[in-house]
Structures are given as C-alpha cells and as structure tokens.
Amino acid sequence: MQTPDQLETLNKFIDRKRKLNSRQAKEIFDHDILGSIGAKAGGLTSPLFIVVGGQPAAGKTSMTGQLWRRLDQDATQVVDENQLITYLPDNNRTRILGTCRVAEINRLAVTNWRDQLIEYAFAHRSNIVLEAHDAPNPVVLARARREGYKTELNIVSTDRITSFTAMHDRFERGLSQNDISDIALPDANAHDRSYDLWACIAAASETSSEFGRIAIVRRSGEILHQKELPADHAQAANLNVEQSSTRALMIERNRPLAQSQRDEIMTIWDRLTRSDVLRHHARMDLPMRSTIIEINSALNDQGNFDPHQPASENPREMAEALVRNIKEDVDSIAANKEGQHPLSQQFLPQILLLYKSLEEEFLGNRAVDVGGDLELSAGLRSAKRSRLDRGEASTSNNTRGEQTQVARLPRERPRFLVEVSQGVYRPIEIYNSMVVDRDTFPNMNRNRSKMNVLIWSEDSNGYETPASLMARSRATNSDLFARTMSDGQLPHSLASRSPDALPAVLIDGGNGSTFLANTKICLDTIDQIPSWITSERILVRNERGGYDELSQRLADNTFSLLPSSTRACLGLRLPERDVAQPKSTSRDFLINRSRDDANERE
C-alpha cells in the first residue's frame, strides 16, 4: 500500500512525464485506437445512433456489447470513454498503485478521442453505440439527425443497491487480476449523483425531440418499456405520466428484490470484507462493516413483488415497499445539492407528479400509510440554485400558441371528479368501482355526503363545486342543479360543503383520469411552467369558488385576480403588469369551443 507521501511523489512524476502532447495523442488515436476498435465498414443508408446510459455498474457495457453483436459488427462503432482511457500510457500501473492521475491530466485527450471516433463513424456512415455517463450532448444528437441517423436512448435500469455492490465487486475482481485500466475507483457519491440524474435524463428525453425512440432495459438486455417519440417537440412536451418511460424506470429500479437477489448481494459483500487486495489498496477507504449493516438493513424491507399485476394480486406490504422505495428515490433527487445537474432541478416537479400517480395507483387511499405526502417545495428549497435560462418564451405566449390543443379538452375531461385518496381526484366511474372493491380499498370513504366533488356541467366554463352550481341554478331559476346531481347520483347536501375544503390547484396527469391536487409545479427560482406540462392541463380555483384553466387566465391577463391561496399553491410568479378585466369574447369562446458525473465504466 502506498503512503500519502508516496502517492504525492507519484502524482508529481505523472504530471511531469505522462501528460500527452497533441502529437502523441494523434499517434495513439491513428495507430492504436482506430487500428483496434475503429469500425471496419460503413455506407449504411439508415444508420443508428444509440445512446446507452445508466449509473456506474448498472450494466451499460453489457448492454453495449449486446447491441454491437445484434447489429452489423463491422459497420458499428462503439464509443466508450473508459475503453479509450486504457490507451493512456501507464494508466493501469498507476491505478493499481492508487492514483487516477494519468486519466485526470489527459481528460482533454480522451474527450477528443471520443469526438474523433464519432466523427469517424459519421464520415463512414457507420452505426454508433455511445456509452454515456452523463446527459447526452444535444449538439451531437442534432448532428446525427441531420446526417440521417435514427437516434435511440437505452437506459439500463438497475436498483441502487445492486449497482453499488457491482461497482465494488468489479473493482475487486480487476485488482485480483492486476488489470483495472478501464475500471475507475469506486466512488459512492459519484454513483448516487449519477443514479439520481438518470431519472431526470429519462424525463428530459421524453419531452424533447432529441431521440426517436426511448427504451428502459435490464442489464440482461430484456426490454421493459419502449416507445417511439414524436418528431414534433410540441407533441413530445405533452407527456402522459401514466405511459411514460420515466414511470417504467422508477418502478423497475425500485422493485423490492427477490430473496435470491438479496442472498447474492450479501454473498458478494461477505467476500469483499475478506479481500486482501481491497484491504491493501491505497484508495479503498470504504467502512466495510458499517456499509454492510446499512445494506443489510435496506434489504430487510425487500421481497417478491410484481408491479405489472393488478393491485389486488400483490401483497399489500410489497406494494408499500415499492412506493416507499420510490419516495426515497425522489427525496434523494430533491435533496442532492452537491454536484447537482441542471436537469435535476428542472424535472423535479415532473418526477414528483409521477411519484404521486404511482402512490395512488399501487396504494389507493392507503397512500398516507407510507409516509404521507412528499413535500416538493421543501425539497426544492434544499436544492436551490441560480436561475435557469432555458431560452423559452413566456408562459402566456406559449399558452396562446396552444389554443388548438386546449379546444379539445372538455370532451376528454370527466364530468364528475371525486377525491379518491389524499390529493388525488378521479372520475366518479372509477370511484364507484373502487367503492365496491372493499378488499383492495378497505378504508375508502363510502359516505357520499362527505365526498369532495367537482362538476363540469353542461353550461359551465370549467369545474365548479356543488355550491357554485346551486347558486347558478337558483340565479337562473332553472333545474340545472337538480338534474346534474341526479345524473351523478350525488346528494344535494354536498352543496353545503365549504369550497375551502377543495384544492386550490388541480393538475391533469395527462389522460383525464387522474388529477393531482395542490402540487406546486413551478420552481422557487423559475417563474415559468415546466415545458413538459401544458398550462391548459392546470386547473386553478378562481375567485368565484369554481375552476378555470390556467391557460385562459394567463391569456386574459387575469392571473393576479386569482385568490392568493391559489397563486401561492401554484408557485408561479409573473412580472407586475396592468391587469385587464376578463373579456366577454373569451367567455363566449370557452362556452362554445369543442374542446392533452460519473465517469465509470459499466
């Protein structure tokens, strides 16, 4: 084992003797890299640009190898920075001695080799399989699309404990074989930052036009979820939470592990604690005993569970374990200040919506049993950063350009919305089916006189409360209230409930069947609605106790007239300006319109 003084002396020697100049770097690329791993053929009419991503030790290299064997191997260029690092002189020897200094001082050379390999593949029209450790470069992806490439993203979904274990296991095996030239030193912080980031990369990829296809895969190559993405960015931005790739990723990587998997993990850690090569390595300072205790404690909450089965067929405790794991996952993304990537901040609200949707899906009204609501605002306050400039137009301008989409919504929205669990509203048809299923929903509120209900009546401008509907019916001396309540089989006594019991903000999850209440979607440092959710899907309680689409309030320049509780819940800050009164033409339109860095090798 090298002493700290010996490592310092070694690093000084490396700084003087092992930094490549441009001539040396070019010679290595031309003779060694292209000669050994350069694609031998090309000329493809429809080449692929496939990005394989995931946290360290998720299984990216295994997946990359499978893709390479599946494609035309001679016409496929694999690009992996950690493979390129192996061409650095003395890299392996110095890593075994306990320093990554050779790779650190030649980072620019390795990055240039990566870019040159991609350029080489473009020139020969070869397939490209890029193993990514961070968010893919949008400039390179745009270049690929211009060159006629089909772009794809494959995210390898592996749970945190398994990849953390695999990261140390492969390092120990490499040390035992005296070859860690392409294996970085285990770094727990880098592993966790990358793990958090890839959920945000998945969300970002679904709401952009960078990829034509996105897939969530296991390290074995099994495809868990895949979908084609529209080329039109505006269509891509209208994300359906319940059909998203991010949903598939969060479920898969938080699945409670089977007993055989738990046993395998503990067997590996038992071997690692007895490893002489780990114990004598200069940089392996992981506290093994406390680490094993922590991992064993986490594994105790695991068990067999299939999230793809109906909720009634899964043990309740396993469903709770899954939701608890997802909540901890989202908490980690929100609280990870150190080295936070801009995507983590930008897509936190979307991941929160996904968590709440999964919580309601797997637990229904039992959601409060696993720790209550996740307070996104607290998580964001702990993760504040400088204002993000995403180059977007103002929210109101975006909204005006979406009126065609807005005009279709009322036909898709349910007539009656009922709160089925804390903060989750669903159509009354779903509520009625949940009421009769006492095994799955034993604690469901079945007292119809105490329901929280929202109604879209035949002549309304949006959702309103029974009290608001009764007042309108009396003002016009009509039987509208009686007819509407009869249609929904709702008691008239609901009109006596205070509107304060109803949410200030409702967000359509994307398909009109799940609405999330009082979820703050705007960051403390951004006065815009995230691009992944269109403003007509946000319903805000107005000054009359009913609900308007946020898009219309912004278009009418009447956002400031909303109750303060609504504005505070939404979290949207607009610049001070003159507030216009609602336009009668806008009301007519509403009534008459016909309405969606980690750099380790895996």
Say whether both 457 and 418 belong to one domain.
yes
- Measure the CA–CA gap between 262 and 572, rounded to whole angstroms: 45
Say whether both 506 and 402 belong to one domain.
yes
Q: Is residue 166 part of a domain?
A: yes
Say whether both 356 and 401 belong to one domain.
no
pLDDT band at 593, cuts 50/70/90? very low
Residue 597 has pLDDT above 80, yes or no: no
- Measure the CA–CA gap between 344 and 530, rounded to whole angstroms: 13
Domain total in the chain: 3
Give tens-digit pLDDT for 139-196: 999 999 999 999 999 999 999 999 999 999 999 999 899 888 888 888 888 899 899 9
**3-state SS string over 514-573?**
CEEECCCCCCCCCCCCCCCCCHHHEEEECCCCCEEEHHHHHHCCCHHHCCHHHHHHHCCC
Q: Is residue 90 part of a domain?
A: yes
Residue 459 has pLDDT above 80, yes or no: no
Say whether both 433 and 554 belong to one domain.
yes
Write down the pLDDT at residue 345: 64
Q: Is residue 168 part of a domain?
A: yes
Q: Is residue 309 part of a domain?
A: yes
Residue 525 identity (one-letter amino acid) = T
Give tens-digit pLDDT for 67-117: 999 999 999 999 999 999 999 988 888 788 777 788 888 999 999 999 999
**3-state SS string over 435-472?**
HHCCCCCCCCCCCHHHCCEEECCCCCCCCECHHHHHHH
* Better-predicted residue by pLDDT, 399 or 34: 34
Please give the mean pLDDT across all residues of the chain. Answer: 76
Query: What is the average per-residue pLDDT within 217-234?
Result: 81
Residue 401 has pLDDT above 80, yes or no: no
CATH label of the domain that carries residue 29: 3.40.50.300
Write down the pLDDT at residue 407: 32
Lowest mean pLDDT among 19-23, 52-56, 385-389, 512-516: 385-389
Per DSSP, the three-state class of 78 is strand
Q: Is residue 214 part of a domain?
A: yes
Q: How many CB atoms lie within 10 A of CB 226?
A: 14
Lowest mean pLDDT among 137-151, 258-272, 501-515, 563-577: 563-577
Write down the pLDDT at residue 73: 93
Write down the pLDDT at residue 576: 41
pLDDT band at 562, cuts 50/70/90? confident
Write down which residue in 253, 268, 287 finishes a domain: 253
pLDDT band at 379, cuts 50/70/90? very low
Strands 76-79 and 127-131: parallel
Residue 216 has pLDDT above 90, yes or no: yes
Write down the pLDDT at residue 302: 65
Residue 370 gets which letter from DSSP? G
Residue 198 has pLDDT above 50, yes or no: yes
Say whether both 323 and 447 belong to one domain.
no
Say whether both 87 and 146 belong to one domain.
yes
Say whether both 374 and 400 belong to one domain.
no
Write down the pLDDT at residue 41: 94
Say whether both 410 and 551 belong to one domain.
yes
- Measure the CA–CA gap between 394 and 554, rounded to whole angstroms: 10
Name the strands in the sheet holding 48-53, side by side, starting at the edge strand that comes first in the sequence.
Answer: 76-79, 127-131, 48-53, 150-156, 213-217, 223-228
Residue 354 has pLDDT above 70, yes or no: yes
Write down which residue in 332, 357, 381 finishes a domain: 381
Residue 560 has pLDDT above 50, yes or no: yes
Residue 405 has pLDDT above 80, yes or no: no
Chain centre to alpha carbon of residue 309? 23
- Residue 252 φ then ψ, to 5°: -65, -45
Closest CA to 537 of 513, 556, 561, 558: 513
Write down the pLDDT at residue 409: 40
Token look-up 């094993």 returns 292
Lowest mean pLDDT among 50-64, 235-249, 382-396: 382-396
pLDDT band at 360, cuts 50/70/90? confident
Q: Which of 182-196, 414-428, 542-556 has the highest mean pLDDT?
A: 182-196
Write down the pLDDT at residue 382: 31
Say whether both 109 and 178 belong to one domain.
yes
Residue 374 has pLDDT above 60, yes or no: no
* Better-predicted residue by pLDDT, 503 or 212: 212
Give residue 363's domain range: 305-381
Lowest mean pLDDT among 241-255, 387-401, 501-515, 541-555: 387-401
Q: Is residue 234 part of a domain?
A: yes
Q: Is residue 547 part of a domain?
A: yes
Q: Which of 154-168, 191-205, 254-268 has the highest mean pLDDT?
A: 154-168
Query: What is the average per-residue pLDDT within 448-454?
Result: 85
Residue 289 has pLDDT above 80, yes or no: no
Write down which residue in 324, 346, 381 finishes a domain: 381
Q: Is residue 390 part of a domain?
A: no
Write down the pLDDT at residue 160: 93
Say whether both 89 and 222 belong to one domain.
yes
Give tens-digit pLDDT for 308-322: 666 566 677 778 888
Residue 522 has pLDDT above 80, yes or no: no
Write down the pLDDT at residue 547: 80
Lowest mean pLDDT among 356-365, 406-415, 444-453: 406-415
Say whether both 128 and 237 belong to one domain.
yes
Q: What percent of the chain has pLDDT over 90?
A: 27
Lowest mean pLDDT among 78-82, 301-305, 418-422, 496-500: 301-305
Say whether both 371 and 499 belong to one domain.
no
Strands 416-421 and 424-427: antiparallel
Query: What is the average per-residue pLDDT within 209-237?
Result: 80
